[in-house]
Copies of this chain bind each other. A is one copy, B any other.
């Protein structure tokens, strides 16, 4: 009996194929929709930011020279000649021995180079010349202290954010500060999802024995959205080459990445390979990866677009999505750290028992976390059949056992990747 032609490659080799696909072109996007996406071009500031030297504190604008050596026991005394409101352009200079009351964000007047916090000062009465109020200053201040200096965040004509930056709230903030209401970002990948398998029925249908609802296309679409992909479910495609060829041709035309899901039997895997090979300008790149669960993953390309055949078992499909395909979707939208495993959000936990692993493949173990007071949480492996959802429902995350390891030991601190 034939198992089909399998050449298992390592996850790193599989990922190298994925990295060869090119990121998508750019589009213009409103700032409110930019988060999590990647800047396509350098963002150049067309003015300095801050525009002028501004105070970081509520206090007094001073010249640092005037309070040199000041302390609790040896305070300095300055004449406060005016109060600046936050949006006023100061017209006055400060002369030696003078200061001006200033709010957080206020512009520094000419002659001032630092701000002393109000907490380190005290009003001590009218000044001797009768023109202001005397302020006692109980702290020495360095020039520039408590001042946001002109151009500290961005300088005219210079790169404020380089191409390839993944936009977080703070990058949204800097873009807003510089007046950009729109950004040029790499497009979100459109991901076509085809379900195959004669046993599949729609979620709305009541299964009779022998039929199962199409679970995987829903879990996959949910995962695609987590990384800003745009999923389209093409429904259930009949298990024959003609139907599959026609559905795949449509999906390739309308998407940037195509996922074939649902068929777990050898017959469906063979069909996936055949339909990829039947497309024009196509190639089968990988058939099998040293990953557990997830071994029977298929990778091809049609034109310049990746086409993947996912394992049919629901847990296997979930692991393959997390380990291989979500990074690919981030890569297609230009994230330079898409395949960087150290970016996986993890929590340390102590393994509750030994977990053996077969060397030669990377194993992903489902982990349930048990919190403990004042100690790292315990990590309980959740074992079970990968055709069931139960283990992934019970688990809080995954932990990886590297391909060169024979397993993990009880008491060992592991990283739990919350998924």
Given contacts A170-B392, A388-B148, contact A87 B211 (CB under 8 A): yes
Contact A170 B265 (CB under 8 A): no
Q: Is A253 an interface residue, CB under 8 A from the partner?
A: no
What copy number does this chain have within its complex? 2
Q: Is A130 an interface residue, CB under 8 A from the partner?
A: no
Q: Is A246 an interface residue, CB under 8 A from the partner?
A: no
- The A202-247 residues at the B interface (CB cut-off 8 A) are 203-216, 218-223, 225-226
Contact A390 B342 (CB under 8 A): no
- Distance A264 CA – B415 CA, assembled complex (angstroms): 40
Stretch touching chain B among A70-78, A176-184, A271-279, A284-292 = A176-184
Q: Is A168 an interface residue, CB under 8 A from the partner?
A: yes
Contact B88 A176 (CB under 8 A): no
Q: Is A66 an interface residue, CB under 8 A from the partner?
A: no
Q: Is A173 an interface residue, CB under 8 A from the partner?
A: yes
Contact A209 B265 (CB under 8 A): no
Contact of A104 among B3, B50, B387 (CB under 8 A): B387
CB distance from A176 to the nearest CB of B (A): 4
Contact A219 B173 (CB under 8 A): yes
Contact A58 B266 (CB under 8 A): yes
- Residues from chain B with a CB closer than 8 A to the CB of A131 are none
Contact B219 A170 (CB under 8 A): yes
Give the interface size class of chain A.
Answer: 35 or more
Contact A87 B210 (CB under 8 A): yes
- Residues from chain B with a CB closer than 8 A to the CB of A177 are 212-213, 215, 389
Contact A52 B209 (CB under 8 A): yes
Cβ proximity bits A25-59 to B, threshold 8 Å, 1 near / 0 not: 00000011011000000000000001110101010
- Distance A278 CA – B209 CA, assembled complex (angstroms): 65
Contact B3 A118 (CB under 8 A): yes
Contact of A86 among B179, B199, B385 (CB under 8 A): B199
- Residues from chain B with a CB closer than 8 A to the CB of A347 are 342-343, 345-346
Contact of A390 among B153, B205, B214, B392 (CB under 8 A): B153
Contact B171 A393 (CB under 8 A): yes
CB distance from A392 to the nearest CB of B (A): 4
- Distance A146 CA – B384 CA, assembled complex (angstroms): 10
Given contacts A32-B221, A219-B173, A222-B35, contact A390 B104 (CB under 8 A): no
Seed contacts A34-B222, A168-B419; 15 additional CB < 8 Å A-B pairs: A3-B119, A32-B221, A35-B226, A50-B212, A56-B385, A104-B387, A105-B387, A148-B385, A169-B220, A170-B393, A173-B318, A176-B219, A181-B203, A342-B377, A343-B418
> 6 nearest interchain CB pairs?
A345-B345, A170-B392, A103-B265, A87-B199, A173-B219, A176-B218
Q: What are 11 A-B interface contacts by the 8 Å CB criterion?
A: A1-B118, A31-B203, A35-B225, A35-B226, A86-B210, A105-B265, A107-B209, A177-B212, A177-B215, A180-B203, A346-B346
